[in-house]
Structure 1
């Protein structure tokens, strides 16, 4: 039976698909059909959505629920005891870009979906490839249990597993492709080893999205997409979440150390410095905060108790204060300098090579840099 709410959901779904198509995120009939067919509302019966400076909670009987579901926003579905979001239905634009970049090498082997969350991405994969070819894994058994119900309600029954996605999912390997909807600083060897030659991995590395193709020698090579993104970081266990950046704000605000004036290659809030910084520093927390009415950049490496505070002074200069055994700004400055000298290109000017021994190498315009 078609109800008014069903009609409304279908109309909103078509509108979202049109928006994703117009902005270039959806390009092929296969994925347009998947986004039109899978009801996102079945996977997010309750969620919070950022609206301005507020997080607004939604339930199915709330005004604007379906409009929020079919916005192109990330919808948070789970929080830890400290109020940090630990699972979401990802931004549909980012999902579409990643799914369009997925290139399975074999029509028979499964596709591995890492970071099940509420199950929406797995459902889209099921629609495109068939449930028998989809394996989805999450570290949190509560999320996997809920996702199983959501997927069943939508008519899909992929293989659902619980475990650390960093290890891939050896039980169903090898895979024709892997897609991960959580953030990593480096591509885990397990992903590369579990994908057949010619298959690919699509992942969020730092602040970039990248599809990597597995070559004959097991080396993974790819070019970053032009769009910037930062998914929730990988969690080693269901009860572990990365400390939010705001928890380090006090340290950056009050710490004192060595100081000097530096030249800034770009505004602190631009995407490319964040993109390059995350590649240079996968283990460093970067955030901005306002001190005395001035927006400053904070860098913290908790394990070594190293930190840096960058305060713009105008005219392309800034005050750098830092402390600890690592000079965090000096470590990323060469990569930023090369970017400036090259004319400040976008993320898609950079390629990433992941070698069988785990080494990562970034390259751009004939120049290459080993990543730590």
Structure 2
């Protein structure tokens, strides 16, 4: 049966009022809260807050590395540089295959990086560089390249040897296996230091020899270190060094011996004190001994001396000269002499330019002046000759560079 409304209005279904309770309400409330939190203060879901859009933009800086990634046969000098465009360099790291880092410096307000020195030959390097723009945003670049493999090479043959104990006059002398036409580059790759510290300078003799010394003789007890970093140095066009080496030697006690060709006596001074005076025989008239400061560069218990090897023809050939020590590359020695007679020493200059000391044949008598001097001398000890009727020895004849004044030693060659 149908029931008609009293008022005559159409019948409507009644709805219960919502009171906000129950599980469904909690769920809906959580969703609304989440949307509000994600959408920001203006209630727009997913919209970026004002002022934050720049954080997502790429850096305006760019890193450019030369040579290009994968390059081969790269020059060891002048080829490597790292540049920042529209920014500045934050860091640059260059390493070889062993992990050794190459030192460098920046210029141009941080826009350019270059190595401090040369690179090694036949070596692969990696480069990692980072630049930043004005907003601090980073741009990075990584590359690797390999330097050239030289067809022609050179090394430096050095004196003294590692670990030696030498006299105060011993220079650091390096002879190169090829003539050098870029001495500045080669000398820049060589470092000689001393402890205690003292200024040490290099001097070129010709194009294949470089010596280093201080202004005055080394102090007794000084430790001297030679570092050769020649690998990759172009010493002459197309000729590259292949050598990386470090050697050290120690200076022993100070011994300086002075030969007076006029009085025919030698005075031996050790650590400032005269320890012995020895009769000698210097060069005879016409074959006088050089004047000047010389350095013992070789020691031979017994050696042969043949006049033909030093321009005296067949005037002498003595096969068993005892206690011989070289003073010059041209053939000057200070040595034992058994053939002139003991009465000669201190009385007459009779040699072909050497300094002779009385000795026994075979050198077996340790009591002779020659044996004593030999036993008490080191490579690098100084022997000075004065009052001889001959010129001063050339600085490049043996280790005679001490005869060159310090200002000339340091002067440009």
TM interval, short-chain normalised: under 0.3
Return the TM-score normalized by structure 2.
0.17
> Which structure would you say has the larger Rg?
2
Return the TM-score normalized by structure 1.
0.19
